[in-house]
């Protein structure tokens, strides 16, 4: 991959990383505020519990994405970015544009997902 392409993806990854960190910090702040609320009835409690479950699920997904972004940034530094973890072929530029932290090429991705299921 060319130097300018690496810089392009590095900027995208760093921007997304900053956004995720901002989101996670905001969610943690909201959760702390919810914990401090006085809940007056079962409806309030159910609403807060539901919000808590949704926020936890979103937070977990964003933490996973953050880990994948960190791994992609490490690959850029190690000059291994854009190489499939499974077959070691290049991951297509268009695939990386859609998912800059992709670990697998378009051929290997369904194989990995099938084996996880």
> What are 52-106's pLDDT values in tens digits?
777 778 888 999 999 999 999 999 999 999 999 999 999 999 999 999 999 999 9
Determine the average pLDDT of the residues in 4-19: 97
DSSP 8-state code for residue 91: P
CATH superfamily of 1-81: DksA, coiled-coil domain (1.20.120.910)
- Is 48 within 8 Å of 34 (Cβ atoms)? yes
- Residue with more model confidence, 29 or 108: 108
- Is 74 within 8 Å of 101 (Cβ atoms)? no
Comma-separated ranges of CATH 1.20.120.910 domains in the chain:
1-81
């Amino acid at each position: 991959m060319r130097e300018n392409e690496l810089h392009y993806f590095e900027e995208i990854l760093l921007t997304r990383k900053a956004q995720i960190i901002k989101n996670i910090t905001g969610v943690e702040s909201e959760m702390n505020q919810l914990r401090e609320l006085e809940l007056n009835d079962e409806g309030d409690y159910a609403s807060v519990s539901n919000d808590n479950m949704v926020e936890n699920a979103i937070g977990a997904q964003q933490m996973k994405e953050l880990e994948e972004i960190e791994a992609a940034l490490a690959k850029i530094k190690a000059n291994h970015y854009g190489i499939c973890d499974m077959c070691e072929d290049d991951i297509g530029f268009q695939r990386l544009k859609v998912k800059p932290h992709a670990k697998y090429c378009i051929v290997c991705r369904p194989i990995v997902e099938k084996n996880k299921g």
